[in-house]
């Protein structure tokens, strides 16, 4: 639900902005969204005992370095409409919007073993050619028995499970007999 609301706000926010300005806004909102991981910040923002003006002052002080009247007005609009809690969703949707407009995506490779950087680069290049985009992959070591490539913003998920391959080989042998 928050994503849908954030998209509507972003549509209004990005009208008349070039790509560089949009990237700057994305950086600002990403920084703001990091504040929402702090329990003290959340308790202040969600507290009914703190009035809207104080919340507005806190948020405006945090974006003061941007020196943007449009951003200040946008923050005021969020506070007036009691939509402060969608700032992390706005940050995420801005990131996705920029990725879509520049065709630059980030993904993750999950595996139970470490993966060579050359293989990561080859996978990035191959997927990039396949989807006509620039894809950057990072490796995450976990307990997945195989390799799983996930580029969420493009909706790509590819996995090769050792267990599944073993089961398919066994099924094939049984059918052959």
Of 1, 4, 31, the C-alpha closest to 93 is 4
Q: Is residue 162's pLDDT more than 80? A: no
Please tell me which residue, 82 or 169, carries the higher pLDDT value: 82
> 3-state DSSP call for residue 107?
strand
Q: What is the pTM of this model?
A: 0.73
Q: Is residue 108's pLDDT more than 80? A: yes
21-49 confidence digits (pLDDT tens): 888 888 888 988 998 888 888 888 888 88
**Token code pair at residue 176:** 């052959």
Q: Which domains are seen in the chain, by residue range?
A: 2-99 (1.10.520), 103-176 (no CATH)
Place of tokens 């999950």: 110
Mean pLDDT of all residues in 81-108: 88
**pLDDT for the residue 38:** 87
What is the C-alpha separation between 99 and 113, in angstroms, rounded? 29
**Token code pair at residue 152:** 């969420």
* DSSP strands (E only) in the chain: 104-111, 134-141, 146-151, 156-161
Helix (H) or strand (E) holding 133: none
* DSSP strands (E only) in 51-124: 104-111
Place of tokens 């951003």: 71
48-70 confidence digits (pLDDT tens): 888 888 888 888 888 888 887 88
Task: Classify each residue of 34-64 as buried b or exposed e, where b means 16 or more C-beta atoms within 10 Å of its C-beta.
Answer: ebeeeeeeeeebeeeeeeeeebbebbeeebe
């Amino acid at each position: 639900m928050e994503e849908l609301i954030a998209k509507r706000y972003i549509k209004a926010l990005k009208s008349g902005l070039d790509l560089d300005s949009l990237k700057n806004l994305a950086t600002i909102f990403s920084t703001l969204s990091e504040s929402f991981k702090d329990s003290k910040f959340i308790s202040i923002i969600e507290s009914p005992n703190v009035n809207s003006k104080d919340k507005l002052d806190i948020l405006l002080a945090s974006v003061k370095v941007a020196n943007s009247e449009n951003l200040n007005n946008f923050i005021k609009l969020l506070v007036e409409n009691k939509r402060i809690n969608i700032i992390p969703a706005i940050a995420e949707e801005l990131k996705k919007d920029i990725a879509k407009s520049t065709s630059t995506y980030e993904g993750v490779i999950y595996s139970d073993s470490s993966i060579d950087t050359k293989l990561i680069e080859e996978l990035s290049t191959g997927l990039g050619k396949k989807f006509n985009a620039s894809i950057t992959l990072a490796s995450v070591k976990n307990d997945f028995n195989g390799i799983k490539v996930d580029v969420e913003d493009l909706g790509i998920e590819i996995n090769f499970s050792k267990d599944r391959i073993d089961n398919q080989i066994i099924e094939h042998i049984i059918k052959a007999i």
